[in-house]
Chains A and B, each alone.
Chain A
């Protein structure tokens, strides 16, 4: 049985507070037109999520439909190749729809149903959250509309086709940079108008309160399983957890159950794109500054005048100029640290995992792997690093294949 995602007695300071703040971060920075909806959602979540029937229904779907628990796999060939710490992969890529995103969409979908909302909307970058939301809408017999930047529609075409097959309407967003942030802008605009019968399923630990808390709660099943699986496999806690961070949902889901386990090192890996010094990256925590975007205060990529700067990453899911507010808090408090790896390192990690373990990782997850590839050789064989393999990479073949030289000459 999956553990409840809702924890009244949350660890690490019991954050967020009642108004959705993680220290100075988070909050609810939205127009008054959205405030009543945000307050209604907060009230509904606090009332419905702890309910036993809700928890049982969620646990049943996570097991029977999503396929949880996902395996924790000891990547022995990769570990041997790196010659240091033992590397374990948390196989979120094996969850239904191929990424961790569905843990959250099933949770929010159930909540939407309890609230009497008949329509789901969502923003998506790589398309994984869009696919997961479309899947949830199909499962629950709801209407679904997915907002996606035209740039992302182009580079993640297979996921667009999947969403349409699942019955969702994919709304192209051409404004701004035509990527994830603009899709989120457009979803917020649409939601304002449709708020009476429509539930906005945010896919990351971003947005106005209660979203960062709620998405984290629905994703923390990842870390809870890792804790149990690691105990069974090694009889102890891991030494280090690594996960990629765009908005930061898979990282929060992995980290959260370990926040009070101070011996466990937490490492979030951002996208350095073409490299931090080039300015063409998506490392909000590593190279950004504090600001307000999409309803919460956190680190952002912005110019000195407070205009949001364009993010750059080969991975559409990390191509976002902000980051969830709880990550900002974990960074400032020192509980987690944040590294960045560039496009080239992520591509090399992608390729290495394919060859050594027979697993095609999502480009997002390949960023976390790339950091582990750098870090593991410097650590002793007794150490254990768990990497969140947050998604599978089939969606990325169109990006990856033209960029990597074939190694063997067997297919000239």
Chain B
């Protein structure tokens, strides 16, 4: 069984929601990034989205733009991010999802990407700028089904499109909480709840929510309406505020623990 469904099943049995952490691989450099991520995994992260830095992150806000720039400046790229995934896999069994823009994967080659990602222990991939209309050119070259393709849905996605997206999704659905870039503010639980209800009608996959969620209070609130909550920019801001400090892994781990505690409220899981 792929680690993603197993994790969500275990969480549902414990009446918890998933805390999903997004971290740019190699920010501010490979060594610190690896130590930070390992500390976060030990502190209770349920699923890791490992961000592959890209020179032109059009869907990201300032925090992740800057984290991508730091990682690129330190020499990170898709090949090294996959190597990092393998190192992370060496010390945790939580699901790993590679999070990338399409061009680095296109340059890498669809089949090589699949083989190397699976060999590294990755469970899924989310390609921000690859909508279902264009994704066959990637997945048709995959020689197996070991990698879930995580799909995005948005507040503006109409019902028929939600259904089409859900039909081609695997792993879980990543619902974008609001229109805007990553890290933007002003998300509404009520609006998200409505959309999650629509998604429940068309999919049995877990539905997770991200963009603009940073505090334990927000995590607790969104945990009541979906199966998992993604926190990303908030971690990148912590990295930025603590550049050069040896305590960085501990600071991130403490934040993870606080956010994780907020996922243990318990209602509204997807059907097991």
Judge whether B129 is part of the interface by a CB distance below 8 angstroms: yes
Q: How far is the CB of A344 from chain B (nearest CB, A)?
A: 28
A29 touches B129 (CB 8 A): yes
Query: In the bound complex, do residue A306 and residue B152 qualify as a contact, i.e. CB atoms below 8 Å apart?
Result: no
Binds B, one of A7-15, A101-109, A185-193, A327-335: A185-193
Least distance between B65 CB and chain A CB atoms (Å): 6
- By a CB distance below 8 angstroms, the chain B residues around A188 are 58
User: Does A31 lie within 8 Å of B128, measured CB to CB?
Assistant: yes
**Which of A33-41, A65-73, A257-265, A352-360 is the interface stretch?**
A33-41
Q: Cα distance A188–B60 when bound, in Å?
A: 10
List the A residue with the shortest CB-CB distance to B107. Answer: A306
- Residues of B near A31 (CB, < 8 A) are 58-59, 128-129, 131, 152, 154, 176
| Of A28, A291, A293, A304, the contact of B131 (CB 8 Å cutoff) | A28
Q: Is A307 an interface residue (CB 8 A)?
A: yes
In the complex, whether A161 has a CB less than 8 A from a CB of chain B is no
Q: Residues of B within 8 Å of A, CB-based: how many?
A: 42
- The answer to the question of B179 belonging to the interface, with a C-beta cut-off of 8 Å to chain A, is yes
Q: Mark A159-192, 1 if CB is under 8 A from B, else 0.
A: 0000000000000000110000110010011001
In this assembly, does A195 line the interface, its C-beta being within 8 Å of a C-beta of chain B? yes
| Interchain CB contact (< 8 A) of B102 among A29, A185, A189, A305 | A29
A292/B61 in contact, CB under 8 A: no
- Which A169-226 residues have C-beta < 8 A from chain B? 175-176, 181-182, 185, 188-189, 192-193, 195
Which candidate, B19-27, B156-164, B229-237, is the interface stretch facing chain A?
B156-164
Q: Answer yes or no: B104 CB below 8 A from chain A CBs.
A: yes
Q: How far is the CA of A19 from the CA of B137 in the complex (A)?
A: 14
Q: Which of B149-179 contact A (CB under 8 A)?
A: 151-158, 161, 165, 176, 179
Q: Kindly provide the distance from the CB of A240 to the nearest chain B CB, expressed in whole angstroms.
A: 34
Task: Given A31-B128, A176-B55, A292-B102, answer yes or no on A192-B179 (Cβ-Cβ < 8 Å).
Answer: yes
A295 lies within 8 A of chain B by Cβ: yes
- Assess whether A189 is in contact with B56, with CB atoms less than 8 Å apart: no
Distance in angstroms between the alpha carbons of A295 and B58 in the assembled complex: 10
Q: Which residues on A sit within 8 Å (CB–CB) of B179?
A: 33, 192-193, 195
Contact with B along A304-326 (1 / 0, CB 8 A): 11111000000000000000000
Contacts of B158 in A (CB 8 A): 36
Contacts of B104 in A (CB 8 A): 305-307
In the complex, what distance in Å separates the CA atom of A306 from the CA atom of B104?
A: 4
A30, CB-defined interface residue at 8 Å: yes
A295 partner residues in chain B, CB cutoff 8 A: 129
A176 to B62 Cα, complex, angstroms: 11
How many Å lie between the Cα of A31 and that of B151 in the bound state? Answer: 10
Contact partners of A37 in chain B: CB under 8 A: 156
Of A27, A193, A195, A300, which one neighbours B133 at CB under 8 angstroms? A27
Residues of B58-95 contacting chain A, CB below 8 A: 58-61, 65, 69, 72, 77-79
Q: How far is the CA of A215 from the CA of B56 in the complex (A)?
A: 23
Residues of chain A contacted by B130 (CB below 8 angstroms): 29
Considering residues A175, A181, A192, A307, which has the most beta carbons from chain B within 10 angstroms of its beta carbon?
Answer: A307
Partner of A294, one of B58, B61, B79, B106: B58
**Distance A182 CA – B69 CA, assembled complex (angstroms):** 13
Task: Give which listed residue, B72, B152, B157, contacts A307 with CB less than 8 A.
Answer: B72
Choose among B77, B131, B155, B184 the residue with the greatest number of A CB atoms under 10 Å from its CB: B131
Residues in B neighbouring A302, C-beta threshold 8 A: 103, 107
- Are B102 and A181 in contact, CB atoms less than 8 angstroms apart? no
A291–B59 CA distance with the chains assembled, in angstroms: 18
Residues in B with CB closer than 8 Å to A182 are: 56
A192 to B152, CA, bound (A): 14
A294 vs B103: C-alpha distance when bound (angstroms): 10
Q: How large is the interface on A (under 10, 10 to 19, 20 to 34, 35 or more residues)?
A: 20 to 34
For A290, give the chain B residue with the smallest CB separation.
Answer: B106
Contact of A192 among B108, B161, B181 (CB under 8 A): B181
The answer for the CA separation of A192 and B151 in the assembled complex, in Å, is 18
How many angstroms from the CA of A29 to the CA of B106 in the assembled complex? 12
Interchain CA distance A193-B54 in the complex, whole Å: 21
A32 at the A/B interface (Cβ < 8 Å)?
Answer: yes
Partner among A19, A181, A192, A306 whose Cβ is within 8 Å of the Cβ of B103: A306
Q: Which of B105, B107, B133 contacts A28 (CB 8 A)?
A: B133
Residues of A within 8 A of B134 (CB): 27-29
Check if B58 sits within 8 Å of A195, measured CB to CB: no
Q: How far is the CA of A36 from the CA of B156 in the complex (A)?
A: 6
Contacts of A304 in B (CB 8 A): 107
Docked pose: A30 CA to B131 CA in angstroms: 7
B268 within 8 A of A: no
Q: How far is the CA of A53 from the CA of B175 in the complex (A)?
A: 41
The docked-state distance in angstroms from the alpha carbon of A188 to that of B54 is 16
Q: Do A306 and B129 form a contact, CB below 8 Å, given A31-B152, A32-B157, A294-B58?
A: no
Known: A32-B131, A305-B78. 9 other contacts (CB 8 A): A31-B59, A32-B151, A35-B157, A35-B161, A189-B59, A192-B181, A290-B106, A307-B104, A308-B103
- B residues with a Cβ closer than 8 A to A are 54-61, 65, 69, 72, 77-79, 102-108, 128-131, 133-134, 151-158, 161, 165, 176, 179-181, 184
| Interface pairs (16), CB distance under 8 Å | A28-B133, A28-B134, A29-B130, A29-B134, A31-B154, A32-B131, A32-B153, A176-B55, A185-B56, A193-B179, A193-B180, A292-B103, A293-B56, A302-B103, A305-B107, A307-B104
